[in-house]
Structure formats: structure tokens, C-alpha cells
Amino acid sequence: MLASKKIIIIGCGGSGKSTLARALSNKINVPVYHLDKLFWRDNWQMTSKPYQQKVINNVISQDNWVIDGNYGATMTLRIAAADTIIFLDRNRFVCLLNVFKRFIKYKGKSRPDMHDNCPEKIDFDFLKWILTFPEKRRPSIYKMLSASKGSKNIVILKNSQQIRLFLASFH
């Protein structure tokens, strides 16, 4: 169980970050912030890095929050402010399957954790990012987690069962 209520959730696309963020937010009664919703604009236009940093500074100035998403431009700010870092270190093929399921569910529509006018899509770059995540991103995440040990509560969840048990630990 977490004593803290300043939580970031990171992981590969399709790992379940937004789903966990919503569930955890409901369990511990704190607001949830989806970076995909905050940082994208109509028709998949990404906001500027200075804008992203301004938004994150406003969010992290609050007493309690759950933030899901990666976005390197604001990672340092979020890590510094967080009490807890949750890394969803799931198999890349599970992530791919989840992305395809999400695409089918929301095809032509924006999902709840995305900006309103960004209909669900899958493109080559996104698939490549998921497939190469273990080699390209995981090592730097574990390095960051190692550097944060002792000062942050670190939670690593590798599968659906671990996620369910983690959520069940909150009453």
C-alpha cells in the first residue's frame, strides 16, 4: 500500500498506464492526469516542450495526483515531485496486443485519456517504439529507478496479475 499520493506511472505504449492510473485514482481518491490528454491537440498536434513543462509545473504544485505517461521533456520534473514511481514493465507483445485491442475499441474516436480530437490510430513509428522499447527505453528507466531508490517508493509491475494484486492492496 502507498502512503504517498504523488504518483507517476510510466511504461511502454499499451502497457496499461492510463487504465492503472484511473483505477488507482479511484482507489485513493486523488485526481488523475493523463499526459496524452494534456499534451496533444486536435489532429495529433503535439504541444511545445515549454508548454508541457508549464502544464506539469501546475499539476505537480498540487497536493495529490496520479500522472500517467512518459514524455521525456517533463520526466525530470515529475520524478522530482513524485513520492512513488510505478513502472509497468510488460512484455512488448502484450503491449502490442493491447494497442490493437484499443484501436479496435476506439477506432475513429478519441479514447477517454486522449485529447478530444485525436481519433485512435496505429502507425509504423508507434509500433516500432513498442517493439524496440525493451532495448531502447527500459535500460534508461531502470537506471533512473536505481538512482531514485531510497528517496522514492519504486513499484515495478510486470503482468496483469501483479497489477490486480497491487490494486487489491488498496481498500
Kindly report the CATH number assigned to the domain that includes residue 135. 3.40.50.300
Determine the structural domain holding residue 88 and report its residue range: 6-168
Q: What is the pLDDT of residue 165?
A: 97
Q: Would 122 be classed as within a structural domain?
A: yes
Answer yes or no: is pLDDT of 168 > 90: yes
Answer yes or no: is pLDDT of 93 > 70: yes
Residues 156 and 90: their CA atoms lie apart, in Å, by: 10
Answer yes or no: is pLDDT of 1 > 60: no
Q: Would 1 be classed as within a structural domain?
A: no
Counting the structural domains of the chain, the total is: 1
Q: What angle do CA 87, 93, 98 make, to 5 degrees?
A: 75
**Higher-confidence position of 14 and 171:** 14
pLDDT tier for residue 170 given thresholds of 50, 70 and 90:
confident
Residues 40 and 73: their CA atoms lie apart, in Å, by: 14
Residues 156 and 134: their CA atoms lie apart, in Å, by: 14
Answer yes or no: is pLDDT of 156 > 70: yes
